[in-house]
Amino acid sequence: MKTTLSTEAIQTDVLEKIKYDSEQARLYLNKGFNAYREDKKVEPFLLMLRTFVEANGGLDLIAKKGGVDSGKLSRALLGEHSPDIIVITAILRGTGYYISFTKKKKSPE
């Protein structure tokens, strides 16, 4: 008999990992952003951000800590409009993370 995990079970597992392990949270953010950058699909990226916000105290707390209106944050995370740099930085500020830039390595020719 094949055993499958529900989306909720997977989401709960991820939530617990990133809630208590900052390295897992960092990897989760990087993976989600890199996937978005490569495939340009916003829905999985928004799901990742919603999970990250939930793991870090929820929408209202992150909006308050991040200095952004909770309605704006909610609308962005629900996909009513794409999250802009203000929303992204508010989420990061509210959770204690920041963006770091690294130059892409050149491919050997």
- CB-CB contact of 83 with 76 (8 Å): yes
Is residue 81 assigned to a domain? yes
Residue 96 token pair = 């204690």
Is residue 2 assigned to a domain? no
Domain count across the chain: 1
Residue-by-residue DSSP string for 47-83: HHHHHHHHHTT-HHHHHHHHTS-HHHHHHHHTTSS--
Give per-residue pLDDT as tens, 59-101. 999 999 999 999 999 999 998 887 888 888 999 999 998 888 8
Is residue 20 assigned to a domain? yes
Instruction: Say yes or no to pLDDT of 5 above 50.
Output: no
What is the Cα–Cα distance from 40 to 35, expressed in whole angstroms? 8
Question: pTM to 2 decimals?
Answer: 0.77
Is residue 3 assigned to a domain? no
Domain that holds residue 50: 8-95
Q: How buried is 85 (Cβ within 10 angstroms: 0-12 exposed, 13-18 middle, 19+ buried)?
A: exposed
The pLDDT score that the predictor gives to residue 63 is: 94
Give the residue with greater pLDDT, 100 vs 1. Answer: 100
Is residue 80 assigned to a domain? yes
Is residue 106 assigned to a domain? no
- CB-CB contact of 68 with 28 (8 Å): no
H-helix or E-strand spanning residue 31: helix 22-39
Is residue 53 assigned to a domain? yes
